[in-house]
Chain A
Amino acid sequence: MQFIMLKFWALVPSSLIRILGLAGLFSLGGCSGNWGWYVVNPATETGRQNLAFLIDGLYYTIGLSVTAICISICLGLLVALPALSNRRAPKAINRIYVELVRAIPILVLILWVYYGLPQVASLSISVFWAGVLALAISDSAFQAEIFRAGIQSIDRGQYEASHSISLNYRDTMRYVILPQAIKRILPALGNQLVYMLKMSSLVSVIGMQELTRRANELVVTEYRPLEIYTVLVLEYLVVILIVSAGVRWLERRLETN
């Protein structure tokens, strides 16, 4: 048993252990035992209220991310299709869109959509939809690249077989190519969903009441950043682990088909 333990520790670089140890020492020393878990202690009334306030943000974080990823998948597919054309013009449109959108930082896009778009298009846009739009546009460029790679990985013979049984372009894509492509790109789509959940925290800057914004607001009133942000970390961790497990389950299900 001892031998096994020794072997395990041998695998971890000793420098890493030292750094982690020092960091732990400093962080604990820094608050000198002053962890104030009472702010989020479910045994007390205020603790319960604070926790409920924090966790209620989940509704927005998930709503925002899921709506955004649904839109970005549709948008990404629309942008990916011209890239598969043999002609130059559709390919150029795809390239320009992807390069342009990929070059804009998400935070900048969120600010631009919320503060800039209403002036340009003279329409009022809610915080939620501004966030959804910015996240969806930003993600669509990546989705487009994922779809393009997935569709291009399908054997040419599948198109030829579809042609030989007289399927048109739409039916070929819908019934033959996309079902196979989506199965292949599912892990990448899962990654994008996780990425989107994390990036949704940026929408807090325009006042969206999601997880991060609520944590920030609570810190301002309670002055316990360490505990509140630790809860925030755990919230993201739990959501993302559940999503990851869900994606893996879906992959396995599709594989057995």
Chain B
Amino acid sequence: MSQPATQPFIQVRDVSKYFAQFCALDAVSLDIELGQKLVICGPSGSGKSTLIRCISRLERHEAGKIWIDGIVVDDSPTGRAVLRNNVGMVFQQFNLFPHLTILENLMLGPVRARKMAETEARDLAMHYLERVRIPEQFSKYPAQLSGGQQQRVAIARALCMAPKIMLFDEPTSALDPEMIAEVLDVIEELADSGITMICVTHEMGFARQVADIMLFMDHGKIVEMGPPKTFFTAPESDRCKLFLSQILRH
């Protein structure tokens, strides 16, 4: 499996992933250019989370290869380094560190992994807290914040590592309805800033706003892919039509 001459920023080639007998990803291939915004949707168990978890190497794929910036993502030192320097991730359950304050949550990565000086890391953390509009909460613990605020802290925490690409794994699925907008606003702003982004979500209004490319997955395969305009108005596959009709009805 050699690499094409002109390389997209992220290349996924024939990646398969099994959980015991269950095939979560079935030979998925995908290219993402720097600056592109990709939104992935699909029914649960379709492999959309697994795909971005394989890109961030939270899961190890059994077959195929993933390149980021021309470097194979694996357990080698270069593979780890390319992940470390490029990929940030936001989780459905926020996964903030409950025993650390908001500021400490944000500073931990820069100080320990990047060996940044504490004062510099503090400034960086405050900068991103302002960007997600909760600088006044810096001294609190995660449990003292609302779900929406926690998720914005999680976004700021990922941004502190200065990633070129942000992966969002259903960032609003664990939130109360009235908090979804504040998180999506922050992600939209982030998208406008030109960062590369892959977002798994069921928020179709948000997807329409943000996405350059929409992607529909089912049974571990990419079923439909295209710009949001055609994706929402004229999907080709019946499976995607059915899914969209169900999800857009409400």
Q: Which residues of A contact B (CB under 8 A)?
A: 155, 157-158, 160-161, 163-168, 171, 175-176, 179-180, 183, 257
Please, which residue of chain A has its CB at the minimum distance from the CB of B161?
A165
B173 at interface, CB cutoff 8 A = no
How far is B108's CA from A175's CA once the two chains are assembled, in angstroms? 8
Q: Mark B41-56, 1 if CB is under 8 A from A, else 0.
A: 0000000000000001
Q: Which residue of A lies closest to B81 (CB)?
A: A166
Asked whether A157 lies within 8 Å of B95 as measured between CB atoms, the reply is yes
**Chain A residues within an 8 Å CB radius of B57:** 163
Cβ-defined contact, A167 with B97, below 8 A: no
Do B99 and A165 have beta carbons less than 8 Å apart?
no
A-B CB proximity, top 9 nearest: A165-B109, A161-B95, A157-B95, A166-B113, A164-B89, A166-B84, A171-B112, A179-B99, A180-B99
Residues of B contacting A168 in the complex (Cβ-Cβ under 8 angstroms): 113
Give complex CA distance A30, B207 in Å: 88
State A188–B113 Cα separation when bound (angstroms). Answer: 32
In the bound complex, do residue A167 and residue B113 qualify as a contact, i.e. CB atoms below 8 Å apart? yes
Considering only CB atoms, which chain B residue lies closest to A161 in the complex?
Answer: B95
B98→A180 contact, CB < 8 A? yes
Query: At the interface, is chain A mostly helix, strand, loop or mixed?
Result: helix
Check B88 for interface membership: any CB of A closer than 8 A.
Answer: yes
What A residues does B84 contact at CB under 8 A? 166
Residues of A within 8 A of B109 (CB): 165-167
Q: How far is the CA of A160 from the CA of B84 in the complex (A)?
A: 13
**Which residues in window 52-69 of B have CB below 8 A to A?**
56-58
A157 / chain B contacts, CB cutoff of 8 Å: 91, 93, 95
Give bound CA distance, A30 to B7, whole Å: 95
- Report yes or no: B113 in contact with A171, Cβ–Cβ below 8 A: yes
Are A160 and B95 interface neighbours, CB within 8 A? Answer: yes
Least Cβ distance of B51 to chain A in Å?
Answer: 15
In the complex, how many angstroms separate the beta carbon of A125 from the nearest chain B beta carbon? Answer: 40
Q: Given that A164-B56, A165-B161 are known contacts, is A257 also in contact with B99, CB under 8 Å in the complex?
A: yes
Q: Which residue of A lies closest to B108 (CB)?
A: A175
Contact of B95 among A158, A179, A257 (CB under 8 A): A158
In the complex, which residue of chain A has the Cβ closest to the Cβ of B56? Answer: A164
- Kindly state the separation between the CA atoms of A202 and B237 in the bound complex, as whole angstroms: 77
Q: Which of chain A's residues has its CB closest to B157's CB?
A: A165
**Complex interface: chain A residues within 8 A of B83 (CB):** 166
- Is residue B96 contacting chain A, with contact meaning CB distance below 8 A? yes
Report the bound CA distance from A168 to B84 in whole Å.
10
Known contacts A160-B58, A179-B99, A165 near B93 by CB under 8 Å: no
How far is A160 from B53 in the complex, measured between Cα atoms in Å?
10
Is B240 among interface residues, defined by CB-CB distance under 8 A?
A: no
Residues in chain A near residue B129, CB distance under 8 A: none
State A164–B91 Cα separation when bound (angstroms).
Answer: 10
Are the C-beta atoms of B88 and A164 separated by less than 8 Å?
A: yes
Instruction: Report if A160-B91 is in contact (Cβ < 8 Å); known contacts: A166-B161, A175-B112.
Output: yes
Cβ of B158 within 8 Å of any chain A Cβ, yes or no, is yes
